[in-house]
Structure 1
Amino acid sequence: MDKRTELLARVYVVTIFFVLFCLLVIGRLIDVNILEGEKWRSKLQKNIKWIEVEGDRGNIYADDGSILAASQPFFEIRFDAVTPTDKVFDQGVDSLAYYIATFLRPDKSPIGWKNELVAKRRNGARYYQIKNHVDYNMLMKIRNFPVFREGRIKGGLIEIQKSSRVKPYKEMASRTIGVDRKNAAKIGLEGSFDEFLKGQTIKRLYKKLPSKSWIPVQEHENMLLNKGSDLNTTLNIGISDAVHQAVLRKLQQTNAKTGVGIVMDVKTGEIKAMTNLTRASNGAYVENYNFAIGEDGKYNPGSTFKLATMLALLEDGHLTLETLVDLESGIKVMKDRVIKDAEPHNLRVVTAEKAFVISSNVGMAKLADHYYNRSLKARKSFVKRLKSFGLANKTGVDIEGEAMPVIKDPEMDANHWSGVTIPWMAHGYELEMTPLQLLTFYNAVANNGVMVKPYLVRDILREGKILQKFEPVVLNQKIASEFSIKQVKKLLEKVVEEGTGIGLKDNTVKIAGKTGTTRVNYNISEDEEEKVYNASFAGYFPADNPRYSCIVVLYGLSGQGNIYGSQVAAPVFGEIAERVMNFYINDLDNEVQKEAFASANLPKGMKGFGPDIDEILNFSNVPHTNKVSKGWIAVENQRTKLDIDEVKISRRTVPNVLGMGVRDAVYILENLGYKVKIEGVGRVAQQSIAPHTRNVGGTITLYLE
């Protein structure tokens, strides 16, 4: 065979083998991809998968820029003990153990950590946890640790970025701010604005280790994710704290089940505070549901709803404030139901104004029954008027979960209508609404009839630039005539001046509002179950030039203690009003109110040694009249200043040491020859021998408070 033929034969043989090999490969590919495709794909999916990873959420800010909620990044540090070469591991393990023991985990000595790392390497550990919750600054140091500085591929360092949502103010407005939950629906602002708050989402390839743990294939990938947008809210830290603390204290005093407090800007509808506290199983009060807007917060508003009844009667021209009504001594039988006033009295014929101011259930029920319950047309007119006030609508507040109010209709709800529905609606029963919905109505009255939408978010920002801005929204330009609004505002002021809210009359800020008390289980006879009450107060302040509206509702009060709105909710309202307006004293238009606030912040009357008091007053920059003498003085609070008078001590009469500190009082009395006994702590409130009587010496007892 010549060389040419031999060469061709070899080529043919190689070609045939190559073709056969290709056919085998193609056959195998067909087998793997088609015949056995599902088997291999399932194996691959068991070991490699794509997982969605989100960037950090945006921050939520208060109206002054304080952080209400923020994502705090942290890192979990793990170690693939198999990856480093013997050379890298052996040369660096001693130093690595030292660094871990010194900076990360002092629970073991460097020798202990070396033994631990060596053991993990011997056992083939690929995902050993070194430390959780490491901040970014510490991560930068860890990357320079011996062995770890070689990176992930050569050094076995595994970094897992995570983040936790932090609320610096803890429970304050917590439910309103909301919760970012991974495996459940987000709530509050976190849920309503999740589309903007959430960071960039990408799919990231993870691989499965023999330990069944999943780790990202590429390191540091999550560093590239964009953060979510930020929210600037209307919530105010100072006002929110005032509401939270006042409601919490009253809950603890009364052992009520739940407390809600809301403060809203009258002109704009900005919600400055929204507190929702409820008693947990351990007895502590926490925020775990938004009763201010949610279904579980709907309640019979009781006497606070009488404002709507009176405004309807006035607006429909049925009466004036001088219209007379017989209160029948506070008890009236209507059909098969008995209506009682909260407190027994002997009043009979009074004006409609008087009936409202003393919160007579009988009076309001009879007026509504007379004018609105004589025909179907009259009943429909009452419901139509209530709807014109916006009371049958949601407020549209920019947070998910607002409940629908319940205002019965005489035709559509005929099966749930009776002959006493109108009189019972008139004083706040047989209807339901949330605290925010009722407050929105009161806010409209304070705003001279203009109803504005309550809202929580001012704007949305991305990298400091405004993406979307939210302006005040007018829901109803005029819920009633100017005359009717003026009339009911007069009534709300009189409630505080001489009615059920008289306990707020002496507050340093003038308040207008209405008390409310409702029995929760009013359809159950008194012998069947313990009575449970809700107490409330709704109104606005300052009454002369309203700046804020506010509502306080305490749910689940036991009939064994104080249960009336005037006893329970009104004091909370008053405390909130004083604290809030203390922030804005310079904005008050009324000079009398300015003086009242100044007086409230001055020390009360006292007596003592002149130079000592002078030093205190000068240090505190407290305004005072007269020059302080070098002897004994008396200080009196004269509204905006302290009036100082000299106190003369005579050896012939018993000195008046009331109001003095114990040291000064004892000094004076002992110098006059008295033996002094002390009971209590504080300043002298009483003395056993009357002042200015003849000085005969002996023992005198001072009672301190």
Structure 2
Amino acid sequence: MNPSNKMMIVYICYLLTALLAIGQIVRLQFFSDYKDQLDAIVYRTIDIPAYRGSILGYDGRVLANTVPFYEIRIDCSVPGDDMLNRNLNGLSLALSRFFGDRSATAYEKEILQARVEKKPGYRNLPLGNRLVSHDELQEIRGFPIFDQGQYRGGLIATQKEKRIYPYGRLAYRTIGYISQDEQSGVGIEYAYNAYLKGHPGKQRVRRRSGDDKWVPISSRPEVAPKNGIDIVTTIDISIQGAAESALREQLSKDSTFEGATAVVMEVSTGAIRAIVNMKKMKSGSYDETFNYAISESTNPGSTFKLATLIALLEDGYVRLSDSVDTGRNGWRYYGKTFTEAGGSYGTISVQQAFEKSSNVAFARLAVDKYGNREKQFINRLYNMKLNERLNIELIGEGRAQIPFPGEPGWSRLSLPMIAMGYEMKLTPLHVLTFYNAIANNGRMVTPYFIESFMQHGRVMEQFEHTPLSGTLCTPSTLKAVHRALRGVVEHGTASRINDPRYSISGKTGTAQIAYDGGFVHNGYRKHQASFVGFFPSEDPKYSMIVILYSSPTRGNFYGASWAAPVFKKIADHIYITNPFWNAPLEAPRKVS
């Protein structure tokens, strides 16, 4: 091959190489996403969290809010050698005393080693074993070296948000919580998360060389975060505290208890002023870990006899003065003997049967009056809205269940059992809502937990709550059941909480709870003891329900002895602290 041909081949190779290089440059310049890839390595856009809204009591006191806490770090490259030599010992000693997690010598060694060896992260070295509050941060800023500020002392304080509850576990199950991924939770925190969390902002940041730390490009965010809305609840912290204290005191008296709940409702509005839920933990203590009030559907027992009495009165089948024979040894019907908890009563009036909570009387009256009209009785109960959802704001409402004749499971015993509060399921809040309607001149209102939304101290939305239905019964029936409920406290099963200083009306209840497929296991039974009512009787302001749940026991368990005293203690607190009663509640006099 002659030299000219060789030169031509070399020339063509160079030309092809040049063309390929030019083509690559053009591709990278106009058709490649390398700039985006480079930007992704050096720059990114991050979310700026919005401040989560607070949850407030109805008087504005904080039940839950987000406050800034700080993670403490040091940029080991910032302090000068002279400053470090003179003051590192003092800084290490201060950190050791403040955090208490390691010795001053260990702190000094860690900071020096990171500075000398320039290990990854030496410009962002974590200090301490926890986040610190704003006041604690101010104290740390006074430590040796750190007192020179961020740019001479190297102090880095990274703000973090932390949810705190100033009143501890008070109403915790109702206030609630939400998981980090927002996929699970309970209470107001979870149900109203969309309002509380706000909307995050956007911030452009770049990777800082040397420590892989991302720092803002500008002091101003691209999009400012929009903070969450504050939620004003119906909770009265004073009543809530008194209810929890009274319930805890009662629970401490016997190891049989498995859990308990107490709910206080404002009669005219349905506002929940207190809601306490106590579940026994493995340690033997009690905590707000299950919302019995809204979720626990059980046989209500004798508190349901009020609904049976209303049905009988409304249909004109009885008057309070009518007599009913309860027998001497109970009453047998379709293979079941109905007996009394407190012995035989013989022939008594309907008023007395209600005051004594006679099982035989109400089972027998139901059969005598509705034996051939079972649907009429159940429809009467349905007309009282007893089988309907309350549609409260919180997630987890238990289902109300009252069977209808002809449905699977209905038997000849269903009628008398339902009349006594069995073969059905209601939550405590369902029962309270029903009694509250009687206190509210027969008008049923929806129980509610949220008063308003606020932002920057200004009301954004005020919620109005309307009645669920018209009146539950006629004025004459309403007058009669008021007299019957007052009689329970004056003369009947709840007479021990009768107080001449202010009047209480209500009904005791005791019910067995099925467990492991039955009611009785080797003589052991589970019970719930309840008392539900309202006060003052003449012009009701508050209604309340108290229920205590037992673990399996062979002992007796009655609403009059366990639930009613709790009701009275909470009512006493309201009596003392509310302005609609003028007379102070005097302490019992000591007998000398």
Q: TM-score, normalised by structure 2?
A: 0.86
Quick check: 2:141–2:147 contact (8 Å CA) kept in 1?
yes
Residue 71 of structure 1, aligned match among 58, 66, 81: 66
Q: 1:339 is aligned with what amino acid?
A: F
Residues 67/497 of structure 1: CA separation in 2 closer, same or farther (3 Å cut):
same
User: Aligned to 2:438, what secondary structure does the other structure show?
Assistant: helix
> Per chain length, whose mean CA-contact separation is higher, i.e. which structure has more relative contact order (CA < 8 Å, sep 6+)?
2
Kindly indicate whether residue 234 of structure 2 is the aligned counterpart of residue 234 of structure 1: yes
Which residue of structure 2 lines up, in the alignment, with residue 530 of structure 1?
A: 524
Partner of 1:310: 309
User: Aligned match of 1:394 in 370, 375, 389?
Assistant: 389
Map of 1:567 onto structure 2:
561
Q: 1:206 to 1:457 in 2, by over 3 A?
A: same
Matching residue's letter, 1:520: I
Q: Give the structure 2 partner of residue 455 of structure 1.
A: 448
2:567 & 2:167 partners in 1: Cα distance?
A: 22
Q: Is the 8 A contact 1:95 1:146 kept in 2?
A: no
**Which AA in structure 1 matches 2:265?**
M
Contact 2:299 2:422 in 1 (8 A): yes
Counting only pairs closer than 5 Å after superposition, residues 257-406 of structure 1 correspond to structure 2 as 257-294=258-295, 297-329=296-328, 331-345=330-344, 347-374=345-372, 378-406=373-401
Shift of 1:20: 5.3
- % identical aligned pairs: 31
Query: Structure 1 residues 98, 461: CA separation in 2 closer, same or farther (over 3 Å shift)?
Result: farther
Deviations, residues 84-122 of structure 1 (Å, cap 9, x unaligned): 36xx54244346636644654435787764443120121
The superposition leaves residues 495-534 of structure 1 with CA deviations (integer Å, 9 ceiling, x where unpaired) of: 1111111111236431100000011139847563511111
SS at match of 1:78: strand
Residue 436 of structure 2: aligned partner: 443
2:469 counterpart of 1:484 = no
Counterpart Cα distance in 2 of 1:159 and 1:560: 60
Match of 1:129 among 109, 117, 126: 126
The 2-side partners of 1:214 and 1:250 are apart by: 58
The answer to whether the 8 Å contact 2:208/2:215 transfers is no
1:83-162 correspondence to structure 2 within 5 Å? 84=77, 88-94=79-85, 97=88, 100-101=91-92, 104-106=95-97, 113-121=107-115, 122-126=117-121, 127-131=124-128, 132-139=130-137, 146=145, 151=150, 158-162=156-160
Note closer, same or farther for the CA distance 1:199–1:159 as it changes in structure 2 (3 Å cut): farther
Aligned partner of 1:549 in structure 2 is 543
Instruction: Kindly provide the amino acid, as one letter, of the partner of residue 170 in structure 1.
Output: G
Query: What one-letter code is carried by the residue in structure 1 that aligns with 2:276?
Result: T
| Residue number in structure 2 paired with 1:581 | 575
Match of 1:4 in 2: none
Shift of the 525–99 alpha-carbon distance from structure 1 to 2, 3 Å rule, reads: closer
CA distance in 2, matches of 1:468, 1:257: 40
Matches within 5 A, 1:603-614: 604=589
The Cα of 1:323 is off from its aligned counterpart by 2.6
2:573 maps to a residue whose letter is: R
Relative distance call for 1:421 and 1:210 in structure 2 (3 A) is farther
Which of residues 402, 413, 416 in structure 2 aligns to 1:423?
A: 416
1:214–1:498 CA distance, 2 compared to 1 (3 A):
farther
Q: 2:95·2:104 contact (CA, 8 Å) conserved in 1?
A: no
Output the CA distance in 1 between the equivalents of 2:212 and 2:326.
Answer: 76
- Partner Cα separation in structure 2 for residue 455 and residue 262 of structure 1: 12
Give the conservation status (yes or no) of the 8 Å contact 2:299–2:426: yes
Let me know the Cα RMSD of the aligned residues: 3.5
The question of whether the paired residues in 1 share the 8 Å contact of 2:493 and 2:560 is answered with yes
Q: Residues 102, 527 of structure 1: CA spacing in aligned structure 2 closer, same or farther, 3 A cutoff?
A: closer
**Cα distance 1:529–1:33, how it changes in 2: closer, same or farther (>3 A)?**
farther
- How far, CA to CA, are the matches of 2:212 and 2:528 in structure 1? 53
SS at match of 1:466: strand
Asked whether the 8 Å contact 2:523–2:554 carries over to 1, the reply is no
Match among 31, 54, 57 for residue 52 of structure 2: 57
- Letter of the aligned partner of 2:463 in structure 1? F
Offset from partner CA, 1:260-297 (integer Å, 9 cap, x none): 00001111111110000010011110001111001xx1
Structure 2, unaligned stretches of length 5 or more?
A: 1-13
Aligned residues: 567
Q: For the Cα contact (< 8 Å) 1:97–1:110, is it kept in 2?
A: no
Q: Does 1:176 align with 2:177?
A: no
Per-residue deviation, 1:395:
1.7
Cα separation, 2, equivalents of 1:566 and 1:105: 58
When structure 1 is superposed on structure 2, of 158-167 and 430-439 the one drifting more is: 158-167
2-structure distance, mates of 1:205, 1:339:
76
Deviation at 1:425, TM superposition (A): 0.4
* Structure-to-structure mapping, 1:193-212, within 5 angstroms: 193-202=192-201
| 8 Å Cα contact 1:55-1:227 kept in structure 2 | yes
Distance 1:161 1:498, change over 3 A: same
Instruction: Answer yes or no: is 1:166 the counterpart of 2:159.
Output: no
Deviation per residue, 1:184-204 (Å, 9 max, x gap): 513111112212211332456
CA distance in 1, matches of 2:108, 2:168: 41
Offset of 1:457 from its aligned partner? 1.4
Kindly indicate whether the alpha-carbon contact (under 8 Å) linking 2:200 and 2:224 is maintained by their aligned counterparts in 1. Answer: no
- Structure 2 CA distance for aligned equivalents of residues 104 and 16 of structure 1: 67
TM-superposed deviation, 1:329: 2.3
Q: 1:527 to 1:471 in 2, by over 3 A?
A: closer
Decide whether the 8 Å contact of 1:509 with 1:578 is kept in 2.
no
Q: Is the 8 A contact 2:298 2:426 kept in 1?
A: yes
Aligned mates of 2:259, 2:150 — CA distance in 1: 54
**Which amino acid in the other structure matches residue 502 of structure 1?**
S
Q: Distance between the aligned counterparts of 2:371 and 2:80, measured in 1?
A: 91
Change (3 A) 1:535 1:221: farther
Cα distance in 1 for residues equivalent to 2:259 and 2:284: 12
Letter in 2 for 1:509: Y
Q: Alpha-carbon deviations, 1:118-159, whole Å to 9, x = none?
A: 20121514142113322335546767975896758x976544
Structure 1 residue runs without a partner (length 5+): 1-13, 589-593, 607-658, 660-705
Q: 1:196 to 1:253 in 2, by over 3 A?
A: same
Give how far 1:419 is off: 0.7
Whole-angstrom distance in 2 between the partners of 1:164 and 1:23 = 55
Q: Secondary structure at the match of 1:477?
A: strand
- The one-character-per-residue Cα deviations of 1:594-648 (angstroms, maximum 9, x if unpaired) are 55x45x24x7368xxxxxxxxxxxxxxxxxxxxxxxxxxxxxxxxxxxxxxxxxx
One-letter identity of the residue aligned with 1:64: D
Cα distance in 1 for partners of 2:424, 2:42 equals 59
Cα distance in structure 1, aligned partners of 2:281 and 2:208? 42
CA change 1:60–1:99 in 2 (3 A) is farther
| Aligned residue number for residue 4 of structure 2 | none
**Deviation string for 1:438-473 (max 9, x for gaps)?**
100000001110111111111110111111101232
Q: What secondary structure, in the 3-state scheme, does the structure 1 residue paired with 2:382 have? A: helix
Query: Cα distance 1:372–1:200, how it changes in 2: closer, same or farther (>3 A)?
Result: same
Rounded to whole Å, the distance in 1 between the matches of 2:408 and 2:334 is 17
CA distance in 2, matches of 1:242, 1:553: 16
Name the amino acid aligned to 1:242: A
CA contact (8 A) 1:380 1:409 kept: yes
- Secondary structure of the 1:329 match is coil
Quick check: 1:509–1:577 contact (8 Å CA) kept in 2? Answer: no
